[in-house]
Amino acid sequence: MSQDAIYSGWDRLRAGILECANKTGALYKPEDVYMRLRAGTAWAYAIKNHGDDLGFTILTQEFDCDGLALFIWILWAEPLSLRGDESAVYGELERIAREIKAKRIRMHSPRPGWAREPFFNQVAIVYEHEVT
């Protein structure tokens, strides 16, 4: 999405970002995402099917010891709208990853349903403790 599209579509983006953060217990706020998008350190892509706007993804880059990883920071879509179209979304993510010469695509989520997706392989379980 262009900077103009991010600005003009911010209300919808913000609502989806907030929904994802609330469902996953993430610590980021929509304003954190907006700042990264405007700074050019994160990128927003619309998810469309036959011209219909189904959702969006927010991507960043991570640097692994062997090269870049395309990181799916946020992926939001209208409920059930991607059923049957997952391969098109994954294909587009693969295209973006190849374009930036990423070695892999990464996503973190506490939602166990992602383990059923054959596109992703579980590589870690993350444990945290908040310091008080």
For 25-49, the three-class secondary structure string (H helix, E strand, C coil) is CCCCCHHHHHHHHHHCCCEEEEEEE
Strand order in the sheet with 52-64: 43-49, 52-64, 67-77, 102-107
Write down the pLDDT at residue 60.
97
59 and 74 in contact (C-beta within 8 Å)?
Answer: no
Determine the Cα–Cα distance for residues 61 and 66; give it in Å rounded to an integer. Answer: 13
The per-residue pLDDT of the chain, averaged, comes to 90
* pLDDT tens-place string over residues 44-70: 999 887 777 889 999 999 999 999 999
- Residue 82 pLDDT: 76
Q: Which CATH superfamily is domain 3-116 in?
A: Gcn5-related N-acetyltransferase (GNAT) (3.40.630.30)
Instruction: Give the CA angle between residues 31, 17, 65 to the nearest 5°.
Output: 85
Q: Which residues contact 63 (CB under 8 A, 6 or more apart)?
A: 69
Question: What does the radius of gyration of the chain's CA atoms come to, in whole angstroms?
Answer: 15
- Lowest-confidence pick of 1-10, 23-32, 33-42: 1-10
**The pLDDT of residue 26:** 93
